[in-house]
Each structure stands twice: as structure tokens, then as C-alpha cells.
Amino acid sequence: MADKAGDLFRFPEAPSSPPPEFDSAFRRHFLELLVWRRDVRRFRSDPVSDELVRELISMARLAPSVGLSEPWRFVRIGSPARRAAVRENFLACNADALSSYSGDRAEQYAHLKLEGLDTAPVHLAVFVDPDPDQGHGLGRKTMPETVAYSAAMAIYTLWLAARTHRVGVGWVSILTPKDIVRALDVPENWRFIAYLCVGYPAEESPSPALSRAGWEQRSEPAGFLIER
């Protein structure tokens, strides 16, 4: 992937025509996109083109960010040695996580296949610059964590964009942030947000893998709405 921002896809800053109409057919397709957006555990080895990776990252840049700070930093990991370092960290963290469960839960956890580090063709680490000059501090004086929230929005935007190309994303969270910063040789002040495995899913389903495995089930929507 090109290092220069100018090599990424560009989108117009202002529309040259009235806003589009999002009709019922579009809303139905959008709901389907949300339903079929999955955290992918297993990937095919088919390559994802560099052009598509650049396009997805450019689309991620359309996510909202506090003060228009665009604090996200995407690192594509192609080095076998760096990928191996990430995997070693995962294995250590995963073993520690497994030891925290017992009985049936431990057996379930051992069979979850929580990572796609071996087969996903594209690995992306997402960081934030915790105090970027861009944005001039707007909106984050009292809530500096909104910088990290902005990166999470960019990740989700990339995730949805990837699904429109039948590409899946898996978020590997069982990692030690400081070790990933060191393994990927990025500035020490960058905050590690996510390690994403990107590629074509080996299997697809509209229901979450954790739900299918019996680990957890979705709650009813009414449980999340509190009226005041």
C-alpha cells in the first residue's frame, strides 16, 4: 500500500448536486448490510487487491472525528517478522485468557477460533494520535477519549465498506497494546485501538459466531433504551 496520503482515493469535499434520496429499497439493503456485517474468524487465502485496501481506508476517512481531527493512523503489516511478533503476543494473551475460565466455559473458549492471524491476507493495525495538531483541540478538552471514539467510528466505517465488496473484517483484541506499539515500531505516544484481519470469509452467516457457538445471545432492543 502506498505511504503517501495523496495516493489514497479522494472523495469530493462538497456535493455538486442535491443530497441523494435514500428510499425504502436503500434502507432495506442498508439493514441487510448491518445484519451481514460479521466479526470474521476464518478467512480464505485469496488476496485483497492493494487498490481495494486503499479505497477502504479512504472510505474510513469519511467517518466523523472530534473537531475534524482525523486522529486515526492505519498501519498495514506486511513484514512476516512483525506479523509473527503480533501472533506470539496473541498466543500469550489468549493462553492467559483461557486460564481465567473453567469447566464448560473453558472448553467453549478453546473452540471459538478467535483470530484470523494465520490466513487473513491483509493485517491492519489502527492507532490514534492522542493529541493531534489537526482540529486544534476542538471538542476534546473535557472528553479527550473522543479521539479514540473517532478511530472506532473509522473502523466501523471501513468494516461496512468492506462488506459491500464481500470482504470480511476480524477484530483481534486479545493483545497487549504496549507490545504491539513496540512490535510495529510506531511512535510511543500513539494509542493502540485495534488489530484488524481483512480478507474474504471462509464462511458467512447473518448471525454472530459467538451466538452460533452458544457463548452469548443478543439482548432485546427495549433493554437498551432508558426514558427520562
Long-range CB contacts for residues 83-89, cutoff 8 Å, separation at least 24:
83/117, 83/123, 85/179, 85/183, 86/117, 86/123, 86/175, 86/180, 86/183, 86/184, 86/195, 87/117, 87/118, 89/175, 89/176, 89/179, 89/180, 89/183
Identify the H or E element spanning 56.
helix 50-60
Structural domain includes residue 200: yes
Q: Which domain holds residue 173?
A: 49-215
Structural domain includes residue 113: yes
Average per-residue pLDDT for the chain: 92
Structural domain includes residue 61: yes
The one-character DSSP state at 58 is H
Q: At 176, which CATH number?
A: 3.40.109.10
pLDDT given for residue 109 in this prediction? 87
Structural domain includes residue 2: no
Structural domain includes residue 34: no
Q: What is the pTM of this model?
A: 0.90
Structural domains of the chain, count: 1
The string of pLDDT tens digits covering residues 79-119 is 999 999 999 999 999 999 999 999 999 888 888 876 789 99
What is the grid cell recorded at 5?
496520503
Q: Is the pLDDT of residue 3 over 60?
A: no
Structural domain includes residue 154: yes
Instruction: Name, in order, each residue with C-beta under 8 angstroms of 208's C-beta and a sequence gap of 6 or more.
Output: 38, 39, 218
**Least confident residue range of 32-36, 106-110, 119-123:** 106-110
Asked if residues 195 and 123 have their Cβ atoms less than 8 Å apart, the reply is yes
Helix, coil or strand: residue 137 = coil
What is the grid cell recorded at 119?
490466513
Structural domain includes residue 18: no
| DSSP strands (E only) in the chain | 72-76, 122-128, 168-172, 191-199
The one-character DSSP state at 223 is G
What is the rounded distance in angstroms from the CA atom of residue 217 to the CA atom of residue 171? 19
Structural domain includes residue 14: no
